[in-house]
Amino acid sequence: MVEAESFAPTLEKQEHTMFGIIGFLIAGLIIGALARLIKPGKQNLGLLATLGLGIVGSIIGGLLASMIGTGDIGELNVLGFIFAVIAAVLLIGVAETVAGKDKTRV
């Protein structure tokens, strides 16, 4: 017979997951902010857009770094961070292009 307690997540596991999510959000915000600093010109992006682009950039950077074999997507490594910032800069360019097309249609 399996006890019900064996299915309940431990407090340590919940804390690890919570801090992992918070760390991922903070890293996404930092990556998005760095990408906005690197990209020339004024970007009309709010805090949430910066966070979103940073998170997507960090996922892309982590995937590229793991494909090269420098570590897992969840690990913090220099190459993954560099790829993430580059991806976020490119994503800002795409977001500006999409936003620019919407303005010209009006």
pLDDT at 106: 44
In the chain, % of residues over pLDDT 70? 73
**Domain spans of the chain, in order of start:** 27-35+45-106
The answer to whether the predicted template modeling score (pTM) of the entire model surpasses 0.75 is: no
> pLDDT by residue (tens digit) across 62-86?
888 888 887 766 666 788 888 889 9
Supply the mean pLDDT for the chain.
Answer: 78
Tell me the CA distances in angstroms from 88 to 6, 56, 76, 91, one per residue in order: 41, 7, 16, 5
Q: Which among 79, 43, 80 is positioned nearest to 59, based on CA atoms?
A: 80
Say which residue, 91 or 71, is predicted with more confidence.
91
Predicted pLDDT of residue 13: 65
